[in-house]
Amino acid sequence: MESQILTLVTFFPLLGAALLLLVPKERHDSIKSISLIISFITLLLSFWLYAMFEPLANGMQFEVNIPWIASLGISYHLGIDGISLLLIVLTTVLNLLAILASFNSITEGVKGYYISMLLLATGMLGVFCSLDLFMFYVFWEVMLIPMYFIIGLWGGVRRIYAAIKFVLFTMFGSLLMLVAILYILFEYHSFAGEYTFDMIRLAQMPLGHQAQLWLFGAFALAFAIKVPLWPFHTWLPDAHVEAPTAGSVILAGVLLKMGTYGFIRICMPMFPEATVTFVPYISVLSLIAIVYGALVAMVQKDVKSLVAFSSVSHMGFVMLGLFALNLQGMEGAVLQMINHGVSTGALFLIVGMIYERRHTRLIEQFGGLAKVMPVFSVVFLIVTLSSIGLPLTNGFVGEFLILLGTFKANVWYAVIAASGVILSACYMLWMYQRIFYGKVTNKENEGLLDLSIREKIVVLPLLLLVFWIGIYPKPLLDRIEPAVKQVINQMGRSGTVKFDEDFSIEPVLADRAAEHELIVNVESEGK
């Protein structure tokens, strides 16, 4: 049982989807309760996984490795480290809340909807568990299909356009990734004489600089579209705005993380030299994303698209932290991946709640809601502040670590990035002010009901997470740190990239990053 726990967590939602197929489509209540129970059990399984996880152990845990398509070296290979562990828990939490939040908003095609949600969960969990590139790719693609239906069938007015755009953007990147995967496969074959898709073994293969650059490019394009890094972000506002609430929650909360996860799991260990070469470019794109996302968010009239653009900005932070290439930056980035999932997931959930009441998301339609819906306005405020990154909320810890790491790598990057924090306070608080303060100007808002019990249950876990991570992030950081160290170790293993012994002080590296001379020749230093 214990050795199969990852299989169980990953495929339990699939089992639920199969179960739902047997339920007659008119029986909405049974469909809802089955999918709720299934996702709750998945959540419990992921908690169990969390409890059994050894924070201090090195390497992958709960590994399963069974040959699948032996003649091509493809195996059913699952395993997790601290990074994947946290993302798995995030996925199961958000999945449960998203399902709970859809009970009232989805009235048509109920059966198909919950089947899609559960399939989506399996796809996302699979991405975070896979240690085999082929499997990773399969899950990465599979997850597109349910999302396509969720946006296209249950979305807003321009849902069809948004769904197609989402699929085409993601496909474009991932198909080039496929060619890159194949290239690595055959490179490994000529290196080691056998075929394997094992990420860990592939990362041990030395690759030429030129090849690394191309391969990094192919993978990075796929991941950057998913993150989305500026200028590949244009699918995101459409998809987020048009998707139903649960779809937006999953999109922003989990799907975007698959991109950054790809960078840290695949790009960095496999192509360390190329990673270092690309640092300035990706950092600049991240900075543009931070500032651009924030500025565009400021002028949005629709709350949901405001949150969508804020995602662009926040994911820019994550990317910047990752490519600071030091312990603080990367740790902060991973933590911020979780934080962004929690905060933005919560934002989309509560925006969905107000949309269910008023069927509009335009900021100008609201005003003075604090008087009508006191509980709601408190919840909204907490989430807003956590998204801004106020101390004692989760956003602060992540952003602080990222800025710390970035500062070490390059002062100017940190300065520009810090402006993003200020801008985020501007647009979030301004939005909050326009919706909640002042007098009730619109008569339709007068009779709005405050949060129901179900809605309170939906937001409560996320609020707890906001404060827990904000006040005591140590349990999370304890699990992230060994994993990040391991990635840094893997990068250092090739010998062409050097990190300091304790991973913490890298002035040497940082200075050179500024001069674009990051590749330290270890041979000369070794002598």
Partner 1 sequence: MIDYTSASIDFSLLGPEIAVLAAAFLILITGYVKSLGKLSPAVALIGLVTALFLSLNQWGDQSSGFFGMVTCDNFGSSFKIIFIIIAILTLLMAHRYLSQKSLNRPEFYALLNISVMGMMVMANSTDLVVMFLGLEIMSLPLYVMAGMARRSPESNEAGIKYFVMGAFASAFLLMGIAFVYGASGTTDLRRLVTDYHYIAGNFKLYLYSGVAMILIGFGFKVGAVPFHSWIPDVYQGAPTPVTAFFSVGPKAAGFAVMLRLFAFGFSYIGLLSDVFWVLAVLTMTIGNIVALKQDNIKRMLAYSSIAHAGYILVALAVGGNSAVSTAMFYLVAYSLFNTGAFAVLILLETRTGCKSNFSELPGFGKAHPYLSSILALFMFALSGFPPTVGFFGKFYLFSAAVKSGFIWLAVIGVMNSFVSVYYYLRVVKVSFFDKPEVSFVPVSFSPAIILVLLITVVGTLWLGLFPQQLLEISQAAIFAFL
Residues in the site for partner 1, rule: CB under 8 A?
25, 68-72, 109, 111-112, 137-138, 141-142, 144-145, 148-149, 152-153, 159-160, 163-164, 167-168, 171-172, 175-176, 178-179, 182-183, 185-186
- 81 CB burial (10 A radius; 0-12, 13-18, 19+): buried
3-state helix, strand, coil in the chain (%, to 5): 75, 5, 20
- Measure the CA–CA gap between 146 and 264, rounded to whole angstroms: 25
Least distance CB 491 / partner 1 (angstroms): 26
- Residue whose CB is less far from partner 1, 10 or 424: 10
- Residue whose CB is less far from partner 1, 183 or 467: 183
- Residue whose CB is less far from partner 1, 172 or 430: 172
Least distance CB 6 / partner 1 (angstroms): 18
Name which of 261, 274, 240 is nearest 165 in CA terms.
240
- Residue whose CB is less far from partner 1, 116 or 393: 116
- Measure the CA–CA gap between 136 and 126, rounded to whole angstroms: 7
Least distance CB 271 / partner 1 (angstroms): 17
Least distance CB 175 / partner 1 (angstroms): 4
3-state DSSP of 4-57: CHHHHHHHHHHHHHHHHHCCCCCCHHHHHHHHHHHHHHHHHHHHHHHHHCCCCC
- 171 CB burial (10 A radius; 0-12, 13-18, 19+): middle
Other beta carbons within 10 angstroms of residue 365's beta carbon come to: 17
- Measure the CA–CA gap between 325 and 405, rounded to whole angstroms: 8
- Residue whose CB is less far from partner 1, 167 or 325: 167
- Measure the CA–CA gap between 152 and 123, rounded to whole angstroms: 18
Least distance CB 234 / partner 1 (angstroms): 17
- Residue whose CB is less far from partner 1, 234 or 442: 234
Least distance CB 163 / partner 1 (angstroms): 7
- Residue whose CB is less far from partner 1, 123 or 389: 123
Q: Is the peptide bond before 374 cis (omega within 30 degrees of 0)?
A: no
Least distance CB 20 / partner 1 (angstroms): 12
Other beta carbons within 10 angstroms of residue 439's beta carbon come to: 7
Q: Are 128 and 260 in contact (CB under 8 A)?
A: no
Token couple for 208 = 């030429």
- Residue whose CB is less far from partner 1, 186 or 412: 186
Least distance CB 137 / partner 1 (angstroms): 7
